[in-house]
Every structure is written in C-alpha cells, then in structure tokens.
Amino acid sequence: MATQKVIVRDRDILGGTPVFVGTRVPVETLFDYLVGGQTLDEFLDDFPSVDRTHAIAALEEMKHAVLAQQP
C-alpha cells in the first residue's frame, strides 16, 4: 500500500479537493469524523466507497508528513 496513491487531487473532482482515490469522498471528512469523536468504523459505514486500507494509509501518510516536520 505504501507505493499506491490513496489521496488524489483533480480539478474535475470537487474542484481539486483531496479525495480518496476512486471516490468523491474528501479526505478531510475522515479527519472531521475523528476529531468529532466518531470512529474509523463509523466513517467507513457512512462512506462505503472508501476502502479501509485506503483510510488507514491516508492516516499513515498524514502521520509521516507531520512527523517529518518535527525538528
């Protein structure tokens, strides 16, 4: 999964908002769910077009991006 792109930006899909590959589900929605106290399973239940492995890979990608910014 590490080499597979799970987040895409395309001007023709939601005006370039980052979405999960193969969907129109914004990645930000996953973060909103988690910040709001909902679980990954609740997100996946509400957005069945998002694959669990893609959601986890997106979280991992964000984790690595944040950790890479630390001094």
pLDDT in tens, 12-65: 999 999 999 999 999 999 999 999 999 999 999 999 999 999 999 999 988 988
Give the pTM: 0.84
Distance from C-alpha of 63 to C-alpha of 2, rounded to nearest angstrom: 13
Mode of pairing for the β-strands spanning 7-8 and 19-20:
antiparallel
- The residue extents of the domains of the chain are 7-68
Q: Which residues contact 2 (CB under 8 A, 6 or more apart)?
A: 57
HSE-up of residue 9 (Cα within 13 Å, Cβ side): 4
Integer angstrom CA distances of residue 10 from 19, 20, 42, 55, 62? 9, 11, 26, 19, 19
**According to CATH, what is the number of the domain 7-68?**
1.10.10.10
Backbone angles phi, psi at 39, to 5 degrees: -95, 165
